[in-house]
Structure 1
Amino acid sequence: MSVILILLALAMLIVGAWRGMSVLVLAPVLAMLAALASGQPVLAGYTQVFMQAAGGFVVAFFPLFLLGALFGKVMETSGAAARLASAIGSVLGPQNAVLAVVLACALLTYGGVSLFVVAFVAWPLARALFVQSGLSLRLIPATIALGAFTFTMTALPGTPSIQNAIPMATFGTTAFAAPVLGLIASLVMLVLGLAWLKWRVHKLATEGVAGVLDTSISAGSMPLWRAVAPILSVGVVTLVMGSVILPSLDTGYLADPAFGATDLSKVRGLWSVITALTVALVLALILSRPPKLVQTLNAGAESALLPLFNTASLVGFGAVIAALPGFDIVRQNLDGLAGDNVLISAALSSAALAGITGSASGGMSIALDVLGPSMLGQAALQGVDPALLHRVIAVATGGLDTLPHNGAVVTLLGICGMTHRQAYGDIFVVAVVVPSFACALIIALGMAFGGF
C-alpha cells in the first residue's frame, strides 16, 4: 500500500503539472497528503523534512542560480545572446534550422546561461528560422530541449550546470569528471536527438507552419567576439580555478567548525563554478554594456527565484517521499535489479528519484543525501572511480527528470504557447529516451574499461 501511495502522489503531481498547476503549491500539498495516508506526522513532515530539504537546497545552490540568472539576463538584454545565436544560424543557413537552434542553445547553456533563460532567448530565433524554412513549429520545444536540457546539462565535461555541480561535494570530484565518457554520452545524445528531429521534420512536412515571421526580432549589432568572450570564460575559469588556483591556496581553515568542518575537495567544484560565473558576469557587463543596468540586474535576480524555489519545492517533495515506508521498498527493489553493481544501482536510484521529483537536480540531491555515503563505500570496495560515479549519476538523472511535471518543460511549453499534447512527445524522445540510452552505454563502457 505504501508503494501505491508513492506512485499515486507522483501521478497526481504529473497530472497537476500537465494541467498547469504550480509545483510551489502542488508539491507540498501532495507530499503532506502522502505522509498523512502513510500514517506519518504531517506537521513534522512539513517543517522537519520538506522544509529542511528545500531550505538546504536553497542554501547550497542559491549562488549558482543567482549568478546564472544575472549573467543570462545581461546576455539577453544586451543583445549578446541573440547575436551569438544569429551568428550560428547565419553560418549553418535556414535549411539547417534545427541544428542551428540546438547548437545555439548548447553554447549558451554550456556557457552558464540558465536553461530557463535560454528558452526565452532561443524561442524568437527558433520561430524565425522555422518559419523561413517551412518547418512545423511543434518541433521547436523539442529542439530547444535537445540543446539545453540534455548533453550540456549533464554530460559535457566542464559544464557549469547545477546538475554537474551537485555530485562534486559528495564525491570530491570536479566539473570535468570522467571527461571521455562525458564526451561519448554527449555525442550520442546530440546525434540521436538530431536524427529523431530530422525524421520528424519529414514526417510533419505536410503540416506546414502555424506562425508569422516576427520582423521585430533583432540579433544585435555588437562585434561577435564581445558576445563569445564571456561564454568562453566560464569553461576556462572553471578549469583553471579547480585545477591550478584553489589547490595552490592554504585552505586548512576549512577544518574549523565555523566553516563547516570540511576540506577543499568538498567545495572546490562549487567554488570554481561560482568564480567562473562571477568573472563571466563582469566580462558581459563590460563588453556588452546592457541598457538600463539596474533594471536588468533586478530582473535577473528576480528571474532566479522561481526556478530555484520550484526546484527546492520538488526537492522537499522528494525528501518526504524518501522518508515514507514505501520508499525503502522501492529502493530495495531497485538495488535488487542492480545486484551488487554500484554503477547500476546508483543510476537506477538517482533516475527513479529524478522521475519522482521531476527534477534532475532535485532527484540527484535526494539520492546523494540518502545514498551518497553508501555509494562511496561500495565504489571503494568495487574499485570504481568516484569520477565515473559522478558522471553516471549526472547523466542518469538527466533522463527521467524530463517527465511532464518537470518545471523546465512546463516553462518551455508556456513560452512556445503549446500544450503537452502538441509538443511533449518529441521532448520525451530527445530528453528522456535518448539520454537514458546514453547512460546505459557509458555504464557499460565504464564497467568494461573503467572511468576515463
Structure 2
Amino acid sequence: MLSMLGLIGGLILLTVLVMRGMNLLIVAPLSALFVAVLNGVPIFPQFAAKGEVDFITGYMDGFAGFITSWYLMFLAGAIFGKVMEDSGAAESVSHWIVSKIGMKHAVLAIVLACAVLTYGGVSLFVVAFAVFPMAVSLFKEANLPRRFIPAALAFGSTTFTMTSAGSPEIQNWIPIPFLGTSPYAGWEVSIITSIFMLIVGYWLLMQMINRSVKKGEHFVERDTDNTEVRTNLPNPILSLVPLLAVLAVAFIFHDSLAQSALILALISGILATWLLNRKYFRNFWDAVSDGTLGALIAIGNTAAVVGFGGVAKITPAFATAVDFMTSIPGSPLIGGALAVMVIAGLTGSSSGGQTIALPILAPHYLDMGVNAEALHRTVSLSSGTLDSLPHGGYAVTTIRSIAGETHKDAYPAFGVVTVVVPIITVVLAVILFSVGLGI
C-alpha cells in the first residue's frame, strides 16, 4: 500500500511542482527520489544488495538510455526544423496555407501549418518554435486571446499527425523493432482516427476560444513579441520539397534500416532545404547551432521524465500496476492501451512511455496472438494521451519556454485537445480493430 502511495504521490508531486513553475530537470529527480524512498529503494549503489537496483542507477539508466537511443533523431529533427525556419521555408509554407483558407480561419491555419511540418518530419518541439511567431501574428490580427496559442500548436503537432500511420515522428517508429511492424501499421484505422481527432479537437478548441472572446478576452501585446515582417520568402511549393523528401526517404528505407531510416530521412530534408533555399538563409550555421541547442533542451526535458519512469519501473508498485493492466479482461488492446497510457503519464513522455512499456508488453501480447499492426497503432495512439499532463516535457516547453504563458492560463485548453480528445480516439481505435477493420 505504501509503495503504491509513493508511486502515485511522486506523480502528483511532479505535476504540482511543474504547475508551480519549477524546472523539470530539477523536479523530476526530486519526485523520483520521493518514489524511491516510499518504495524502499536504496538511494546509493553502495547501499544496494547484490543484484538490487538503486535510485541513482535507476534514474540515470532511464535518463542516459533515452538519450543514447534517440539523441541523433532529436538532433537531426531539430536542425531540420531550424534550417526550415531560417531559410523562410517553414514560414512560406505557413503563409501559403493561410492564403488558401483565409484569415478568418487563423487558428486552423496554425493547426495545419504544424501538421504539415510534423508529418514532414520536423521535431515536435521545433515545430512549436518555428510556428510560434506566425501564431502570434495571426492571433494578433484576429484579436484572439494569446493563451490559446500553446493549445493550437500542440493540437497540430502532437495529435492527429504525431501518432498516425506513416508519420516520421518517433512516437510512430518506436514500436517497430518490438513488434516487427512498419510505420504504416494499421493505416486503415489510422485514417479514420486522424480525421476524427482533427474534426473533434478543432471544434472543441474553437468553442473554448469563442467562449473566451464573448467574455471580453482579446489579444495583449508584449514587449518581447518579434514584429519583424519577412518579405523575401522562398517559393512555398519548393519549400514543401524537403518535407516530401523526408517522407519519401523514410518510406524507401524503413524496411532495410528500421529506425535509422528516420535519421537518413531527416538529413535528406536538411540537404534539400539547403540546396533549394540557400540564397534565403540568414545564417545557415547559426541555424544549425540553434537546432543543436533546441535538441538538447527537448531531449533533456524528455530524458528527465524518462529517468523518473526509470525509477518508477524498479518499484514493486509499478510491477503491480502493470500486472493489473495486462490482466484486464476483454480485448488485449485495452490492457495494452491502458498500460502505455499510464506509463506515458508517469514518465510525462509519449516516447519515454513506449520505450519503458514495450519491452514488457510486446512479448506478452504477441505470445497471446494479438495482431501486431493493431497493437502498434493502439500503442502509438495511447502514448499521445497522458504524456501531455501538466508535467510533460512538451507541455512545459511549449507553454512556458516558447509561449511565455502560465499553466493556469494555458493548460485547460491544452489538456482538452492533447489529453481528452486523444483518449476518446484510442477508444475509437480499439473498437474499430475489435470489429476487424485493418486486421
TM-score (norm 2): 0.92
Structure 2 gaps, min length 5 = 46-53
Contact (CA 8 Å) 2:325, 2:336: kept in 1 or not? no
Asked whether the 8 Å contact 2:399–2:407 carries over to 1, the reply is: yes
For residue 167 of structure 1, what is the aligned residue in structure 2? 175
TM-score by length of 1: 0.90
1:75-105 alpha-carbon deviations (Å, 9 max, x no partner):
1111111111111111111100111110000
| Matching residue within 299, 304, 312 for 1:313 | 304
Asked whether 1:323 is paired with 2:303, we answer no
- The answer to whether residue 396 in structure 2 is matched with residue 410 in structure 1 is yes
**Could you say which residue in structure 1 is the equivalent of 2:91?**
82
Q: 2:411 aligns to what?
A: 424
Q: CA deviation at 1:335?
A: 3.1
Give the residue type in structure 2 aligned to 1:66.
Answer: L
Structure 1 CA distance for aligned equivalents of residues 104 and 5 of structure 2? 49
Q: Separation in 2 of the partners of 1:24 and 1:194? A: 32
Q: CA deviation at 1:450?
A: 4.7
Query: Which residue of structure 2 aligns with residue 232 of structure 1?
Result: 244
In 2, the alpha carbon distance for the partners of 1:294 and 1:221 equals 19
Residues 404, 420 of structure 1: 8 Å contact kept? yes
**1:200 alignment partner in structure 2:** 208
AA of the residue aligned to 1:421: K
Corresponding residue number in structure 2 for 1:9: 10
Q: Report whether the alignment pairs 1:373 with 2:360.
A: no
Instruction: Give the C-alpha shift of residue 215 in structure 1.
Output: 4.1
Provide the C-alpha distance between the structure 2 equivalents of 1:103 and 1:83, rounded to a whole number of angstroms. 13
For residues 89-144 of structure 1, give each alpha carbon's deviation from its aligned partner in whole angstroms, at most 9, with x where no partner exists.
11111100111110000001111111111112222211221222232222211111
What residue identity is the alignment partner of 1:433? V
1:265-414 alignment to 2 at 5 Å?
268-289=257-278, 290-336=281-327, 338-339=328-329, 341-378=331-368, 380=369, 384-414=370-400
Structure 2 Cα separation of the partners of residues 308 and 347 of structure 1: 24
C-alpha separation between the residues in 2 aligned to 1:215 and 1:48? 47
Computed over aligned residues only, the root mean square deviation of the Cα atoms, in angstroms, reads 1.7
Partner of 2:51: none
Counterparts in 2 of 1:211 and 1:339: CA distance versus 1, 3 Å: same
User: Mean alpha-carbon deviation: is it higher for 271-280 or for 88-97?
Assistant: 271-280
Residue in 1 that maps onto 2:430: 443
Please give the alpha-carbon distance, in whole angstroms, between the structure 2 residues aligned to 1:376 and 1:32.
34
Q: Deviations over 1:61-81 (max 9, x none)?
A: 111101001101101111111
Give the counterpart letter for 1:180 in structure 2. E
Q: Secondary structure at the match of 1:151?
A: coil
**C-alpha distance in structure 1 between counterparts of 2:44 and 2:31, whole Å:** 13
The residue identity in structure 2 corresponding to 1:304 is A
User: Is contact 1:86-1:219 (8 Å) kept?
Assistant: no
CA separation in 2, counterparts of 1:310 and 1:115? 13
**Paired residue for 2:157?**
148
SS in 2 for 1:449: coil
Task: Look up the equivalent residue of 2:208 and give its one-letter code.
Answer: R
The residue identity in structure 1 corresponding to 2:103 is P
Q: Secondary structure at the match of 2:75?
A: helix
Instruction: Report whether the alignment pairs 1:103 with 2:112.
Output: yes
The letter of the residue matching 2:233 is: S
Residue identity opposite 2:353 in structure 1: G
SS of the aligned residue for 1:173 comes to coil
SS in structure 2 opposite 1:238? helix
